[in-house]
């Protein structure tokens, strides 16, 4: 059985379109900011999809690239306008950024990449812009920025951290104070729920990949739902990994290693579920995932295709988190640090 995410993603899109109008009205200036550095081809694809999705539901996407961040001040309104910007409004009158704002992160050392200080400054401005309702940093970052990744992510206002990579919202969810999931783990649960496969009590679940973006929060969520979870990464002993995978009920791979999971990882009794969260391109440029679908499709009970599986639901989940965070504002007002 193929586990498609496209139809459910379209249902979520319609719901979000209605929520945008209900929350913000027909005419508004709300937008999300996407900070995208370097030239990773997979990232370029995802940024394009996110921008299009935002415009489809009525929320603008401003994309900030390397050259934009090198001069933060007066840059914010030189990007794609929010989808519902009021007509006749000038750039000067619509700007709500305080150009004198100072970056909240003071731990910026000597010899840093020239972008870093300006990225912190940009995030600080976005944190306090009432029209900005979501901030995300497209990963992976270029090698020159990798050392600053966690600090940059942590500097995002938690109530605008729609990816959940700053750690605060995922941490509060892990201790059951709130219900929040980063976009991709949320998409995995959503695709299982779409096919009534989300009862994880007693299920043996293997997660290959331990990133803060997917593997870790997904493992916690599966445990919260009663699953018995084993976590691995692309460097784990392959024979041991194959053995554990064969004993599992659900295999979820999110490493970005092309065709890591093949027929040697699954049983032949057509009882297992395989979820492919990976995304990359083979030598011919074709989009492929972690799973060698051709080798496993006749051996398992259900699997996600690529394209049309987790990808559409990931973007839908990302934008749905805008409203999850909006709803948490009042609940967390005395808990979260204030971003001024």
* Residue 84 pLDDT greater than 80, yes or no: no
266-301: pLDDT as tens digits: 999 999 999 999 988 888 888 899 999 999 999 999
**Taking a C-beta distance cutoff of 8 angstroms, is the pair 300, 272 a contact?**
yes
Instruction: Mean pLDDT check: name the lowest of 70-79, 136-145, 256-265, 314-323.
Output: 70-79
**What domains does the chain contain, in order, with CATH numbers?**
23-165 (3.40.50.10860), 183-312 (3.40.50.720)
Q: Dihedrals φ, ψ of 60, to 5°?
A: -70, 155
Q: What is the pLDDT of residue 86?
A: 36
Inter-axis angle of helices 310-328 and 6-24, nearest 10: 30
Locate 269 and state its tokens.
């009794």
In whole angstroms, how far apart are CA 311 and each of 5, 6, 106, 176, 220? 8, 8, 36, 27, 21
112-142: pLDDT as tens digits: 667 899 999 999 999 999 999 999 999 989 9
* Residue 62 pLDDT greater than 60, yes or no: yes
Q: What is the pLDDT of residue 106?
A: 41
Q: Residue 18's CB: how many other CB atoms inside 10 A?
A: 12
The pTM for the full model equals 0.84
Average pLDDT (168-185) is 94
- The secondary structure of the chain in percent helix, strand, coil, rounded to multiples of 5, reads 40, 15, 45
Q: Residue 189's CB: how many other CB atoms inside 10 A?
A: 19
Q: What is the pLDDT of residue 158?
A: 96
Helix (H, G, I), strand (E, B) or coil at 320: helix
7-41: pLDDT as tens digits: 999 999 999 999 999 999 999 999 999 999 998 88
Mean pLDDT of the chain, nearest integer: 87
Average pLDDT (197-215) is 96
Instruction: Mean pLDDT check: name the lowest of 31-45, 140-154, 265-279, 326-340.
Output: 326-340
CA 26 vs. chain centroid, Å, equals 27
In whole angstroms, how far apart are CA 168 and each of 34, 91, 147, 158, 214? 19, 34, 20, 6, 15
Predicted confidence band at 101 (pLDDT cuts at 50, 70, 90)?
very low
Predicted confidence band at 68 (pLDDT cuts at 50, 70, 90)?
confident
* Residue 88 pLDDT greater than 70, yes or no: no
pLDDT above 90: percentage of residues in the chain: 73
Q: What is the pLDDT of residue 339?
A: 60
Distance, in Å, from the CA atom of 126 to the CA atom of 31, rounded to the nearest integer, reads: 10
pLDDT above 70: percentage of residues in the chain: 86
* Residue 92 pLDDT greater than 90, yes or no: no
Average pLDDT (201-210) is 98
222-233: pLDDT as tens digits: 999 999 999 998
Q: What is the pLDDT of residue 95?
A: 35
Q: What is the pLDDT of residue 71?
A: 66
Pick the closest to residue 121 from 175, 77, 68 (CA basis).
68
Average pLDDT (73-96) is 41
Pick the closest to residue 103 from 55, 66, 155 (CA basis).
155
Locate 113 and state its tokens.
């990449």
Distance, in Å, from the CA atom of 116 to the CA atom of 93, rounded to the nearest integer, reads: 28
Q: What is the pLDDT of residue 340?
A: 52
162-173: pLDDT as tens digits: 999 999 999 999
**N-terminal to C-terminal alpha carbon distance within the chain:** 50
Distance, in Å, from the CA atom of 166 to the CA atom of 157, rounded to the nearest integer, reads: 8
Distance, in Å, from the CA atom of 134 to the CA atom of 160, rounded to the nearest integer, reads: 4
* Residue 78 pLDDT greater than 60, yes or no: no
């Amino acid at each position: 059985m193929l586990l498609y995410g496209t139809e459910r993603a379209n249902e979520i899109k319609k719901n979000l379109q209605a929520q945008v109008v209900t929350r913000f009205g027909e005419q508004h200036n709300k937008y999300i900011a996407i900070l995208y550095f370097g030239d990773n081809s997979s990232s370029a694809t995802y940024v394009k999809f996110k921008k299009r999705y935002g415009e489809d539901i009525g929320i603008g996407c401003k994309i900030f690239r390397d050259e934009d961040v090198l001069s933060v001040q007066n840059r914010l309104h030189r990007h794609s306008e929010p989808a519902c910007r009021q007509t006749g409004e000038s750039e000067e009158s619509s700007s709500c950024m305080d150009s004198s704002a100072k970056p909240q992160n003071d731990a910026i050392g000597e010899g840093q990449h020239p972008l870093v200080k300006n990225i912190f400054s940009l995030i600080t401005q976005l944190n306090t812009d009432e029209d900005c309702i979501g901030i995300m940093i497209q990963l992976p970052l270029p090698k020159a920025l990798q050392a600053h990744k966690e600090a940059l992510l942590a500097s995002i206002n938690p109530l605008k951290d729609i990816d959940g990579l700053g750690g605060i919202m995922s941490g509060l969810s892990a201790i059951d104070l709130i219900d929040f999931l980063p976009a991709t783990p949320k998409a995995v649960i959503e695709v299982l729920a779409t096919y009534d496969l989300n009862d994880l009590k007693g299920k043996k679940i293997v997660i290959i990949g331990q990133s803060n973006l997917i593997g870790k929060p997904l493992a916690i969520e599966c445990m919260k739902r009663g699953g018995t979870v084993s976590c691995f990464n692309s460097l784990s002993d392959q024979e041991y990994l194959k053995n554990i995978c064969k004993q599992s009920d659900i295999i979820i791979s999110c490493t970005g290693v092309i065709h890591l999971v093949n027929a040697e990882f699954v049983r032949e009794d057509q009882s297992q579920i395989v979820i492919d969260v990976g995304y990359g391109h083979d030598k011919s440029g074709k989009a492929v995932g972690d799973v060698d679908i051709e080798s496993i499709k006749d051996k398992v009970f259900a699997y996600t295709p690529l394209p049309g599986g987790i990808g559409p639901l990931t973007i839908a989940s990302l934008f749905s988190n805008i409203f999850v965070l909006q709803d948490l504002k009042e609940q967390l007002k005395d808990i979260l640090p204030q971003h001024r």
